[in-house]
Amino acid sequence: MDMDQAVAELAEKARVIRRHIIAMLGEAGSGHPGGSLSAADIVTALYFREMRLDPSRPDWPERDRFVLSKGHAAPVLYAALAERGYFPVEELGTLRKLGSRLQGHPDMKKLPGVEMSTGSLGQGLAVANGMALAARLDGRDYRVYALLGDGELQEGQVWEAAMAAAHYALENLVAIVDYNGLQIDGPVSEVMAPEPVPDKWRAFGWHVLEIDGHDMRQILAAFAEARHTRGQPTAIIARTVKGKGVSFMENEVDWHGVAPKGEQIAQALEELA
């Protein structure tokens, strides 16, 4: 498949995933649209191009691993897993409902394809380190991807894990920062400025790439470069737009953790048609 066609197909898949995000949050009546939409292109690229997966064998030892460290973006993960065939797409409508496998934040014990239970921020990168170390111990060549929020970088454990990943030279590990610039209380630069983000990762010993997190070609190129990087882990700092794809949600801090209702759902789905 040539690259133009691959990019077009991934963009189409990302559109479908964004529609799922809106529909499932609308149905649930609560949840986190902003950070799910900002990560949709990255997660689509991972699940439909980059990662070595077999949805019929979620426990396949050779599979690549994805850790959604920013666990509140569960809808984007669920939509990707359903579209990839881990469970029926119809089940997305059960999000956040009693008895559902689609918990408000990902639960690895309930839903096939979820590699780690997350929700309390700052913890996913350390877990990804452990997965990457296990690959080395077992002589396996699987790769590990962790998606972090930019606000999440305020958690100290992220930097403990960043230090350790470089110390162990985990070249099979990629951390992606969904740098959408907003957190619950406002712009990250106002709440607790993380800048300069790329320099921080560089200083911690990582190979750092800065991309537009909605440009599929840049996303794929970054993953390709990470794959060929030796002796250190790769951090992809992906500039994104919170709420990307829905005009009234884009760059609006209030759409961090509020579900769309009625007309809002209709308009969002129309924009994503």
List contacts with another protein (CB under 8 A).
Answer: 61, 65, 107-109, 115-120, 122-135, 137-138, 156-157, 160-161, 163-164, 168
- Integer Cα distance of 124 and 144 in angstroms: 11
Q: Least distance to another protein from the beta carbon of 65, Å?
A: 8
The nearer residue to another protein, 44 or 123, going by C-beta atoms, is: 123
Is the CB of 109 or the CB of 228 nearer to another protein?
Answer: 109
With respect to another protein, which residue has the nearer C-beta, 77 or 216?
Answer: 77
- The amino acid at residue 105 is H
Tell me the closest approach of the beta carbon of residue 259 to another protein, in angstroms: 24
CB of 202 to another protein, least distance (A): 20
Nearest to 73 by CA among 177, 174, 162: 177
Q: Rounded to the nearest whole angstrom, what is the least distance from the CB of residue 156 to another protein in the complex?
A: 8
Please report how close the Cβ of residue 164 comes to another protein at its closest, in angstroms: 6
CA distance 22 to 236: 26
Considering the complex, state which of residue 36 and residue 129 has its C-beta at the smaller distance from another protein.
129
Nearer to another protein, 82 or 126 (CB): 126
Please, what is the end-to-end C-alpha distance for the chain in angstroms? 25
